[in-house]
Structure 1
């Protein structure tokens, strides 16, 4: 079904500073795999990535081939290339992540759920043609999940992934040196599950180059066993790590040594792998959802550092209960959220992007005007359902221009890693500048 766009005439309090918001634009790319949510999971870092005046995109087509594309920003014309690489698209964990380094080379990692590393990069700056599959460091590359790229201010890259399985994995960090054209190991075990648990993380690289990481713990494959929200940051490109107080961690970080931004018990419908951001002072903001004690309804929350203490904002607009109990990729009536914190205003404000069956599974945004006063408004950015879509976006374009470019595709998701009998659907980019 074609996704229409809605003119956004309302004022985005705080973020819009009194100016009317321009309309949403939706740009077609090509048809893509839609039998599950593998193209549209929240933990893709990134689905879209910009460098200079060029934006890149990656997705699986109907035959599970990786398709790469690029366009000049401001245009609707995409140059697309179907690569020789395929993935097990039937497993929604096996998403594609891309990033462009400071020299203009595209990097790609794809098709992982406890699998050997799949990694390749562009043969030249700006090229969609990739090298043969290659190792990075050759260390701990036999059981990779959740690959994520981050571009540092100097143009070098960080690459994060889980080494090991659900319930017993460790967080690995590699660093790419543009000048040397080579990867090196930064940490083989930044956050250790000690063979008993693993950390499901979300990370954010802020405007100063500080890397923020937060995570929930899980001791088993059961999603409902997620618990607690921990935090760490690095001010030197991932080498050393500290708590929000500045106290330096002894590595690896464990359940006993971690700083906790929020204590959340198991069986609270706490979801894993969401998103985070930071304000202009470098204070972290973590978006997630869970069900508070005494309630049957999971709500979106933002856990944030306010000066010397951690605070929480419960958005509390949902009414329908659901359960996360079970294994694999779940068919969930809401998406995991993406949060973008504005760093221009005197007081922090934010956008929280989500999808909720209560709102017709449209692309929706909660505009948080004031965290302390607990003021926000909710509106839809599309008229039609996005299916089981979750938000991922062009992080570099947001940092540079404050322009939101969301990867958009109407996809299905069958509970417990199943696949739907669905035809390919149109891959699109939702483009909106909320200022």
Structure 2
């Protein structure tokens, strides 16, 4: 029997990432050969690649803080699932047939407070059963699974291994190299945690540990904040992380990377094997030995693969003078080539516990602007918003203008609410769509994170959660 395969999920940060690819900048109009394009930090920004062809309203959702929702499209069963917190803060799953605009709803026995860590993630196994996890920040495991494929009314609390499940954070579903359903999460807390991996057996409909040991272990002194593992076009699973000493975000340090063919045996980019668990002492996995207080934050590093299928990591840190800068790194030989992309003259200091809002610097994932030219957009506390370009081969910064195609149409970038501080949030279908040229985007509005604490009133009205179908 075939093993479980993820056909979707959530990243928690997907909304900010996708929004930044098109909406950051000071734009002016420029007309060339009758086509409207926009200038953005040396970029000629063309009309969006996709256009909206269908809009579906799902329901009102919590809007007084930022928290991630989840979207899963299952072409095989002609169905689509959305997980969110409704206007009563209740975890809710909505489902529809792809050829229908009618939604069916199932409310689950879990309510969110004000913690922006408590996003929801989903996956569908090969049997067609839906798995849902979320609303956890160092909390007991919150996990639901259907007993009847395609029937969300059969969602019930499920069990995994029963071990080290009392302080769960950052749940994530994924596939291993054989297409088997894997679930990973952090056990512990910020500054004292380990990353654990489970694998699902559809024959017995049960979970077991993928690894006998944590993949990443802070040994009671720190914890790792990983990006990934992500399977690249080179066939390797890549994982990028920073270590963190305490709940204070200023204590992030030492940007690192490892890769694996099967999520079990891991090595450096240069091929040196690492014995699990990966710990801080495994310094041959370093990309950049950024010190505590050195200007990097968990979530600040982004992973991209170039045309030669090589991993590139973009990130920010303070330079020797204390000024914030952007960098890109790529493996070369047994180490990493690091290229500074900016020469900014302003320091950006940040600190604090809980989910941080804008710390003063933010950058999108890299993307191709033109053949041989890569780009990323940024927001800077002093300089505002703009776009950087760099050469795909040498990694050296380039001056524009270069052509950039927007990810989404402008109509999706307009905030509807007039409540101060409201921002657009998005979740993308991580599995994409099997229908060529079709994409689905989930969108809503909310205030930003508030260090996981309740705000003082007044509060915005619950916002409308919408699903957009886009075609090229």
Gapped regions of structure 1 (runs ≥ 5): 13-18, 41-46
Are the equivalent residues in 2 in contact too, given 1:353–1:391 (CA < 8 A)? no
Q: Alpha carbons of 1:430 and 1:234: their partners in 2 closer, same or farther (altered >3 Å)? A: farther
Shift of the alpha carbon at 1:173? 0.8
Question: 2:447 maps to which residue?
Answer: 412
Are the equivalent residues in 2 in contact too, given 1:234–1:241 (CA < 8 A)? yes
Q: Alpha carbons of 1:226 and 1:145: their partners in 2 closer, same or farther (altered >3 Å)? A: same
Question: 2:60 maps to which residue?
Answer: 31
Q: For each residue in 1:254-283, what CA deviation from the matched residue of structure 2 results, as whole angstroms up to 9, or x when unmatched?
A: 111140112222223312135434456553
**Structure with greater strand share of residues:** 2
Secondary structure, counterpart of 2:432 in structure 1:
helix
Q: Alpha carbons of 1:340 and 1:230: their partners in 2 closer, same or farther (altered >3 Å)? A: same
Compare CA radii of gyration and give the structure with the larger one: 2
Q: For each residue in 1:74-127, what CA deviation from the matched residue of structure 2 results, as whole angstroms up to 9, or x when unmatched?
A: x68362413222233311111111122233322111111111111111223333
Are the equivalent residues in 2 in contact too, given 1:354–1:391 (CA < 8 A)? no
Q: Alpha carbons of 1:208 and 1:284: their partners in 2 closer, same or farther (altered >3 Å)? A: closer
Are the equivalent residues in 1 in contact too, given 2:350–2:359 (CA < 8 A)? no
Match of 1:151 among 166, 171, 175: 175
Secondary structure, counterpart of 1:410 in structure 2:
strand
Question: 1:426 maps to which residue?
Answer: 464
Deviates more, 1:311-320 or 1:204-213: 311-320
Shift of the alpha carbon at 1:165? 1.0
For the aligned residue pairs, the C-alpha RMSD in angstroms reads 4.1
Alignment of 1:303-322 (within 5 A): 303-305=329-331, 309-312=335-338, 316=342, 322=348
Q: Alpha carbons of 1:245 and 1:369: their partners in 2 closer, same or farther (altered >3 Å)? A: closer
The number of residue pairs the alignment matches comes to 412
Alignment of 1:24-63 (within 5 A): 24-25=51-52, 27=55, 28-39=57-68, 47-52=70-75, 53-63=78-88
Q: Alpha carbons of 1:225 and 1:245: their partners in 2 closer, same or farther (altered >3 Å)? A: same
Question: 2:267 maps to which residue?
Answer: 242
TM-score normalised over the length of structure 2: 0.73
* Partners of 2:135 and 2:338 in 1: CA distance: 35
Are the equivalent residues in 1 in contact too, given 2:116–2:449 (CA < 8 A)? no
* Partners of 1:189 and 1:408 in 2: CA distance: 35
Deviates more, 1:411-420 or 1:352-361: 352-361
Q: Alpha carbons of 1:335 and 1:144: their partners in 2 closer, same or farther (altered >3 Å)? A: farther
* Partners of 1:353 and 1:128 in 2: CA distance: 39
Secondary structure, counterpart of 1:416 in structure 2:
coil
Alignment of 1:156-235 (within 5 A): 156-187=180-211, 188-203=213-228, 204-207=230-233, 210-235=236-261
Question: 1:141 maps to which residue?
Answer: 165
Question: 1:325 maps to which residue?
Answer: 351
Match of 1:265 among 287, 291, 294: 291
Question: 1:91 maps to which residue?
Answer: 115
Shift of the alpha carbon at 1:208? 6.0
* Structure of higher RCO (CA pairs closer than 8 Å, 6+ residues apart): 2
Q: Alpha carbons of 1:335 and 1:125: their partners in 2 closer, same or farther (altered >3 Å)? A: farther
Gapped regions of structure 2 (runs ≥ 5): 1-18, 24-34, 40-45, 416-420
TM-score normalised over the length of structure 1: 0.79
Shift of the alpha carbon at 1:166? 0.8
Question: 2:311 maps to which residue?
Answer: 284
* Partners of 1:315 and 1:405 in 2: CA distance: 33
